[in-house]
A and B are shown apart, each in its own frame.
Chain A
Amino acid sequence: MVRDKSARGMAFPILNGLFLTLFCLSILYLMWYVVIISLNDGADSLRGGIYLWPREFTLRNYQSVLGDASLIRAFGVTVLRTLVGTVSSVFFTSMVAYAMSKRHLFGRKLYLLIGTGTMIFSGGLIPYFLLLRSLKLLDTFWVYIIPALFSFYNCIIFMSFFRTIPAALEESANIDGASDWRIFLTIIIPLSKPVLATIALFSGVGHWNDYFSGVVFVNNPDLVPIQTVLYRIVTSASMGKMAVAVPGVAAKMTSSIAIKFATMAVATLPIILVYPFLQKYFVKGVMIGAVKG
Chain B
Amino acid sequence: MVQANPAVSTGSKRSWQSRLYAQRYLQAMAIPGVLFMLLFNYAPMYGIIIAFKQFKVTRTIAASPWVGLTHFQEFLGSEDFLNLLTNTLGMSVMYLTIAFPMAIVFAVLVNEIRSPRFKRAVQTVSYLPHFLSWAILGGILISFMGESGLINEVLVKLGVLKAPVIFLGEAHMFWWISVFSEMWKETGWSAIIYLAAIAGIDQELYEAATVDGVNRWGKIIHITIPSIQGTIVIMLILAISGMLNANFDQILILKNPLNALRSEVFDTYVYRMGIGTGRFSYATAAGLFKSIVSMVLLLLANRGSRALTGDSLF
Given A27-B125, A92-B32, A279-B127, A260–B139 Cβ distance below 8 Å?
yes
Cβ contact within 8 Å between A126 and B270: yes
Given contacts A127-B47, A130-B47, contact A46 B148 (CB under 8 A): yes
User: Would you call A107 and B125 a contact (CB within 8 A)?
Assistant: no
Which residue of B4, B37, B271 is within 8 Å of A216 (Cβ)? B271
Of A54-62, A64-72, A192-200, A203-211, the segment with at least 4 beta carbons within 8 Å of chain B is A203-211
Q: How far is the CB of B13 from chain A (nearest CB, A)?
A: 15
Identity of the chain A residue whose Cβ is nearest the Cβ of B6 in the assembled complex: A106
Residues of B near A231 (CB, < 8 A) are 135, 138, 252-253
- Determine the chain A residues whose CB is within 8 A of the CB of B138 once the complex forms: 231, 234
Task: Please state if A106 and B4 are interface contacts (CB–CB under 8 Å).
Answer: yes
Q: How far is the CA of A217 from the CA of B97 in the complex (A)?
A: 35
With A20-B113, A180-B25, A268-B132 as known contacts, state yes or no: A126 contacts B30, CB within 8 Å. Answer: no
Scan B13-54; emit 1 where CB is below 8 A from any A CB, else 0: 000100110010111111011101111111111111010000
Nearest CB of chain A from residue B10's CB, rounded to whole Å: 8
B308 at interface by CB-CB < 8 Å: no
Contact (Cβ within 8 A) B30 A100 = yes
A227→B133 contact, CB < 8 A: yes
Known: A124-B284, A234-B139. A208 touches B25 (CB 8 A): no
Q: By the criterion CB–CB under 8 Å, are A155 and B140 in contact?
A: no
A13 at the interface (CB under 8 A from B): yes
Task: Tell me if B274 and A129 are in contact (CB < 8 A).
Answer: yes
Interface size on B, residues (CB 8 A): 97
* B82 CB-CB contact with A under 8 Å: no
- Alpha-carbon separation in the docked complex, A119 to B186 (Å): 21
Whether B90 sits at the interface, judged by CB under 8 Å, is no
Question: For chain B, what secondary structure do more than half of its interface residues adopt (helix, strand, loop), or is it mixed?
Answer: helix
Q: How far is the CB of A8 from chain B (nearest CB, A)?
A: 9
Contact of B284 among A92, A126, A131, A257 (CB under 8 A): A126
| B170 close to chain A: CB less than 8 A | no
B173 within 8 Å of A (CB atoms): no
Contacts of A239 in B (CB 8 A): 256-257
Is the CB of B143 closer than 8 A to any CB of chain A? yes
Query: How distant is the Cα of A4 from the Cα of B219 in the complex, in angstroms?
Result: 14
Chain B residues closer than 8 Å to A96, beta-carbon distance:
29-30, 32-34, 36
CB distance from A210 to the nearest CB of B (A): 8
In the complex, the answer to whether A24 meets B125 with C-beta atoms within 8 Å is yes
Q: Most chain-B Cβ atoms within 10 A of its Cβ — which of A49, A121, A124, A279? A: A124
Taking the closest CB of chain A, its distance from the CB of B180, in whole angstroms, is 11
Residue-wise interface mask of B (106-126) relative to A, using a CB-CB cutoff of 8 A (1 in contact, 0 not): 000110111000100110111
A234-B29 contact, Cβ under 8 Å, with A126-B283, A149-B36, A150-B37: no
Kindly state whether residue B129 has any CB partner on chain A within 8 Å.
Answer: yes
- Residues of B near A233 (CB, < 8 A) are 139
A26 at the interface (CB under 8 A from B): yes
Q: Is the CB of A13 within 8 A of B112?
A: yes
- Smallest CB gap from A116: residue in B: B314
**Chain A residues, Cβ within 8 Å of B231:** 290
Q: Smallest distance from the beta carbon of A234 to chain B beta carbons, Å?
A: 4
B280 pairs with A34, CB closer than 8 A: no
| Set of chain B residues within 8 Å of A124, measured between Cβ atoms | 44, 48, 270, 284, 287-288, 290-291
Q: Answer yes or no: A102 CB below 8 A from chain B CBs.
A: yes
Complex CA gap A278/B19 in Å reads: 41
Q: How far is the CA of A216 from the CA of B140 in the complex (A)?
A: 23
How far is it, in angstroms, between the C-alpha of A147 and the C-alpha of B41 when the chains are bound? 10
A283 close to B136 (CB less than 8 A): no
Query: What are 29 A-B interface contacts by the 8 Å CB criterion?
Result: A16-B112, A24-B122, A99-B27, A105-B23, A105-B30, A107-B2, A107-B4, A107-B30, A111-B34, A114-B38, A118-B37, A126-B50, A126-B275, A127-B284, A128-B40, A129-B275, A130-B280, A184-B29, A208-B133, A209-B134, A212-B249, A216-B271, A231-B135, A260-B139, A271-B132, A279-B127, A283-B192, A283-B196, A286-B192
Given contacts A147-B40, A231-B253, 8 further A-B contacts (CB under 8 A): A17-B113, A97-B33, A106-B27, A115-B37, A130-B50, A131-B43, A184-B29, A231-B138
